[in-house]
Amino acid sequence: MLDSKILDKTRSSLQQLAKLLLAKNITANQITVAGFLVGMLAVPLIILDFTYLALACMILNRLLDGLDGTLARLSTPTDRGGFLDIVLDFIFYSSIPLAFAIADPQTNALAAAVLIYAFIGTGCSFLAFATIAAKRQMQSTEFPDKSFYYLGGLTEATETIVVFGLMCLLPGYFSIIAYCFALLCGITTLLRIRAGLELFN
């Protein structure tokens, strides 16, 4: 819901930084992997109760995620890069509720499982739509720079990071936050299913 607005506001700054990296022969895939590794550092930090540092890693992960796409478009975007980006993103997203479950299994495990299950719905509907859209050579007008058809919803990357931030700032309320966000993910999944059924008629 907020991704397109965030991209519009950060596009100029990301392009300037990407040009500097391109001049140093740094590739988009290198930024993708670096961002993933930084993001995954949040997992042990959450388990060890360093949630503020974990949040910093998540924010840096998202900045690098925006930067890799900008860098790719300044050079030569590839299917390999698009594939790597989306796979690592989904692994990162699922790792955060898992980390909270490991940190406090008795309190957080069920809520984390529900949220990861909800992520399966948003992820499958997102990727299934993109697959059929590519087969039909459809183009996204809202996200024209993406390497595949990017179908938005209530729970996009920006909303997910905001929720992860709340979890890190208020770890004692993880379960409540997780259940609420899982509900929003469920609504997003239903909206995407409806969109697919309508557009692919």
pLDDT, tens digit (0-9, with 9 covering 90-100), for 128-145 = 888 888 787 776 655 555
CATH topology for the 3-199 domain: Four Helix Bundle (Hemerythrin (Met), subunit A) (1.20.120)
pTM score, whole prediction: 0.84
pLDDT at 16 over 80: no
Give CA–CA dist 61/39, Å, rounded: 5
**Between residues 52 and 28, which one has the greater pLDDT?**
52
pLDDT band for position 199 (50/70/90)? confident
The mean pLDDT of 1-20, rounded to a whole number, is 66
Total residues belonging to the chain: 201
The torsion region of residue 134 among left (phi > 0), alpha (psi -120 to 50) and beta comes to: alpha
Read off the pLDDT of residues 69-125 as tens digits, 9 standing for 90 and up.
Answer: 888 888 877 888 888 999 999 999 999 999 999 999 999 999 999 999 999 999 998
Q: Does residue 25 register a pLDDT over 90?
A: no
* Domains in the chain: boundaries: 3-199
Give the span between the Cα atoms of 145 and 63, in whole angstroms.
17
pLDDT of residue 130: 83
